[in-house]
Structure 1
Amino acid sequence: MMKRSVVAIAISLLLGMCSAQAVEIYNKDGNKLDLNDRIKVSHVISDNSENSGDASSNIQGGFIGETKITNKLTGYGTWSYQFSLRDSEGSDAQNGNATRLGFAGLKYDTWGSVDYGRNFGLIYDVMANTDMLPYFGSDSDYNDVFLAGRSSGLLTWRNNGFFNLVKGLNIAAQYEGKNDRSGSDNGVTRSNGDGFALSASYTFDSGISFGGAYASLDRTEAQNSFVHGKGNNAQNWATTVKYDANQIYLAAVYGETLNATPISGGFANKANVFEAVAQYQFINGWRPSLAYISSRGKDIENIGDADILKYAALGTYYYFNKNMSLFAEYRLNLLKDNNPLNVATDNILAAGLAYQF
C-alpha cells in the first residue's frame, strides 16, 4: 500500500512539471502576486547554415496578479516578456526581445471573465494541444496572424464550467480590433482588420477532451495586394481531440484556413492543417515525444496545391526535478528539394537545457 502511494505521488509530481511554474511572492488581504520565469538555452545543428547555431536561447519572465474586490468580483492581470540571449552588445541588442502577453480583466461569479490586451487568440485553444514538442512544433499557430497565436488588442470572454452548470464544458468569445503593422518588417503579413473568434471544449473525467475554434477577420488592402491570397476575409477553423491520463499524452488537430496561412508572396488561398503528438511520462523523469506536423496549401495562384510544411519529429524531455529539464529533438523534413514554394528541406537536430520557476 505504501509503495503504491509513493508511485502515485511521483507520477503527480512529474506530470506537474509539464505545466507552467510560478512562485507566490505576495498573498494578503485578497491580493495575490505570482512570479514566473524560464531560462532556456539551446543549440541547433542543420545542413542549412541559416538554421544552425544559437537561434532561440532566451529568458521569458513575468507575473500573474489577482485582487479580490467583492465576494463575487475578482480583478486580475498578466504580463510576460521575452529577452533574447543570443544578441551581442552592439546594434542588434534589441533583436528577439518582445512582449509576449499583457492583459487585465475582471471575473464575476459564474458569468466568467472579461479581459483586454495582448493575449492568445482563441484558435490557440485548439492548437495548444499539439504545441507540446520539446523544441519544434507551434508551426501552424503564427503569432499576430488572424488569432492563431498571440495577438494584440484582444477583448476576450471566457466561461469555464458553462455558468457552473456543466462540469468540463468551457466556452469563449473574442474580438480583435484592426492592427496595421505595415511599417515594420513582415508587417503587412502580420496585420489584420476587425474580427472575432469563438471556441468550445469539453473534458471527460477519463482524460479525453474534444474542442473546436473558429475565427473570421477582415483583411487589409495591403494584404490583398499580395500575389497570393485574395479576399476580404481571413478565416480559420480547427478541431482537436486529446487524451491526457495515466502518464499518456495523445493529441491531434485538424483544421483549415482561408487567406490566413502566410507563404512566400502572401497567403495561401486555402490550407489544410494536421498535427499529431504522442508522449509518455516515465516515473524516472524521461518523457519521449513523437509528432507529425503538416500544412498543405490549396489553389495557390500559378502553383496549385503545395506543401507549406511537412515533417516528423522524434524527441525527449528529461526532468531532473520540477525546475530543471533537458530536451532534445530531431526534425525529419518530409519535403523534397525544388518544391513549388521553395521551402527549406533540411533535417534539424536541436538540444538544450531549461530552468524555470
Structure 2
Amino acid sequence: MKKTVLASVIAGIAFSGQAFAVELYNSEGTTFSFGGHISMGIGNDGNDDLVVQSISPRINISGTQDMGNGFKADFKGEWGFRPLKDTDANGDEKDAFFTRLGYIGVSHDTWGRASGGTEWSPYYSVAGIADMPIAFANDFLYVQGGALGSSRAERIVAYRKTFMFGENLDLNLGAGWQGQNGAYGDRGQLALSFDLGAINVGYAFSTGSVAGQNDDAMGNTLSAKYGSYGDGLFVAAVYEMGSDFRNALGGAAYDSTSVEAIAAFALANSLNFSLNYESHEDDDSSITVISQMALQVEYNFTPAFMGYAGYQLDLGDDVSSDDDLYALGVRYYL
C-alpha cells in the first residue's frame, strides 16, 4: 500500500507512545481535532517516599487544510499540564500549563514537508526510536534537548521527505536549522534512515555553537530497530557520540557516549512486556552519569485506557546513590 508523505511524517512525529485524537470538524478539506492524555498512579520519588504521580500529561489541538495542487497544511499546538500541585525550589507553585509543541507545516507527496516552530526534530526521528514505554524510557535525549534539537526542538525550521523504492524500501531524509536561542547559536542537523520492511536503520548528526565553549556542540547518533512497539516483537538500540554536546549534571558540556536499548513483546491481547537499558558516560572525566535498566508491562483495557507498571534498577553510577524506582498506574487517551 502506498503511504503518503503526510501520513508517514505525522506517524514519525507522533511515534513516541500512542496517538489519539477526537476529530471535531471535517468539511471541505479542513479538519480540526483535540487530543492528549493524562496518567495517574503511584510510585517513589527521589527520597524513596511513596507518592501519587502523573507522568507527562498533555492536551493538544491539531488541524489540516487542503490547499489544492497536492499541497496540504497542518498545525499542532500541545501543552503539558500539571494536574497535581507542584512547586519549585523556592516553594512557589509551578505554572499549570507549559508549551510542548507548536508548529505549522506544509506537505506535498512529491516535494516533501517543510515546517517551523517547536516540534519533534529530525534528529529525534533517528535517536528516539527506543523512547517508548510510559513509565521509564530515554532520559539523555532530553538533557538540553529543546535547545540542542535532540528531542522537542525549539525554534526549528525542518524539512522531511520520504523516497520510496518499491514496496519494502524507503529512504527518509530530514534536515533542520535553529537560530539563536539563549546561549546556543545557529544549529543544524541532518537525519537519514532506511525502512527495509520491518527493519529500520538510521544516522543523525547535529552541530552548532554554544556561548562559552571553544568547540561546537556536536552529536552523532546511530540507531536500528525491528518491528513496531506494541505489535509482537520489537527491538531497538541507539548509540550517541557527543562532543561537548550535553551535561546531564548541569554546567559546561562534556564529551559523552550514550546508549539506549529496548526489547519488547506484545501478546495478541495487547499485554506488552519490555526490558530497556540506558547509560550515559562523561568521557572527559571517565565517569558514569546514568546506568539503569527497567522491567515494564503495559496493557490496553480499552483502546484509549491503558494500565502500566514498571521497576527501574539503578545499576550504579559515579555521581549519585543507587536508587531504584517503581511506578504503577493508568493512562487515559483523549
Normalised TM-score (structure 2)? 0.86
List runs of 5+ in structure 2 lacking aligned partners.
1-14
Deviations 1:79-104 (A, max 9, x none): 11111112169984434631110001
Q: Measure, in 1, the Cα distance between the counterparts of 2:52 and 2:123.
A: 30
Distance 2:135 2:292 in 1: 13
State the one-letter code of the partner of 1:308. V
What's the offset of the Cα at 1:58? 5.2
Aligned twin of 1:174: 176
Mapped to 1, the partners of 2:269 and 2:165 lie a distance apart of: 40
Match of 2:189 in 1: 197
Q: Secondary structure at the match of 1:141?
A: helix
How high is the sequence identity, in percent, across the aligned residues? Answer: 24
- What is the Cα deviation at residue 264 of structure 1? 2.9
Residue by residue, what CA displacement relative to the aligned partner does 1:213-261 show, whole Å, maximum 9, x if unpaired?
Answer: 10001102xxx2xxxxx43310011111100166111101111111111
Shift of 1:22: 1.6
Question: Which protein is bigger by CA-based radius of gyration?
Answer: 1
Q: Distance in 1 between matches of 2:27 and 2:166?
A: 27
Distance 1:128 1:58, change over 3 A: closer
The equivalent residue for 1:20 is 19
Kept in 2: contact 1:145–1:260 (CA 8 A): no
CA distance in 2, matches of 1:192, 1:138: 23
- The amino acid across from 1:353 in the alignment is V
1:193 positional shift: 1.2
After superposition, residues 113-262 of structure 1 pair within 5 angstroms as 113-142=113-142, 143-161=145-163, 167-180=169-182, 191-205=183-197, 207-220=198-211, 224=212, 230-244=213-227, 247-262=232-247
4+ residue runs over 6 A deviation: 88-91, 163-166
Residues 59 and 17 of structure 1: is their aligned pair in 2 closer, same or farther, counting only changes over 3 Å?
A: closer
Which amino acid is the alignment partner of residue 278 of structure 1? A
Query: Secondary structure, in 3 states, of the residue corresponding to 1:247?
Result: strand
Q: Distance in 1 between matches of 2:16 and 2:55?
A: 20
Q: Please report how far the alpha carbon of residue 69 of structure 1 lies from its aligned counterpart in structure 2 after TM superposition.
A: 1.0
* Counterpart AA for 1:123: Y
Q: Is the 8 A contact 1:40 1:58 kept in 2?
A: yes
Task: Report if the CA contact (8 A) 1:131-1:138 is conserved.
Answer: yes
Which one-letter code corresponds to 1:132 in the other structure?
M
8 Å contact 2:17–2:133 — kept in the other structure? no
Q: Secondary structure at the match of 2:217?
A: strand
1:270-293 Cα distance to aligned partner (Å, 9 max, x none): 111111101111112310110111
Counterpart of 2:129 in structure 1: which amino acid? N
**Is the strand fraction higher in 1 or 2?**
2
Q: Secondary structure at the match of 2:136?
A: coil
1:50-89 matched pairs, under 5 angstroms: 53-57=51-55, 59-87=57-85
Conserved in 1, the CA contact under 8 Å of 2:106 and 2:113?
yes
Q: How does 1:320-335 map to 2 (within 5 A)?
A: 320-335=301-316
- Residue 146 of structure 2 aligns to a residue whose secondary structure is coil
> Which residue number corresponds to residue 13 of structure 1?
none
Q: CA contact under 8 A between 2:147 and 2:154: conserved in structure 1?
A: no
In the other structure, the counterpart of 1:185 is none
1:6-65, CA deviations, whole angstroms, 9 ceiling, x for partnerless residues? xxxxxxxxxx9953112211111110112212011132225x417752354453111221
Secondary structure of 2:126's aligned partner: helix
- Structure 1: gaps spanning 5 or more residues: 1-15, 181-190, 225-229
Q: Report if the CA contact (8 A) 1:66-1:77 is conserved.
A: yes
Deviation at 1:105, TM superposition (A): 2.1
* Equivalent residue letter for 2:74: Y
| Aligned equivalents of 2:59, 2:165: Cα separation in 1 | 32
Q: Is the 8 A contact 1:57 1:84 kept in 2?
A: no
Q: 1: CA distance between counterparts of 2:166 and 2:66?
A: 20
Cα distance in structure 1, aligned partners of 2:166 and 2:178 = 27
| Aligned residue-pair number | 314
Alpha-carbon distance in 1 for matches of 2:189, 2:141: 14
CA deviations 1:148-206 (Å, max 9, x no partner) are 111221000011236999952110110001111xxxxxxxxxx421110000111112x
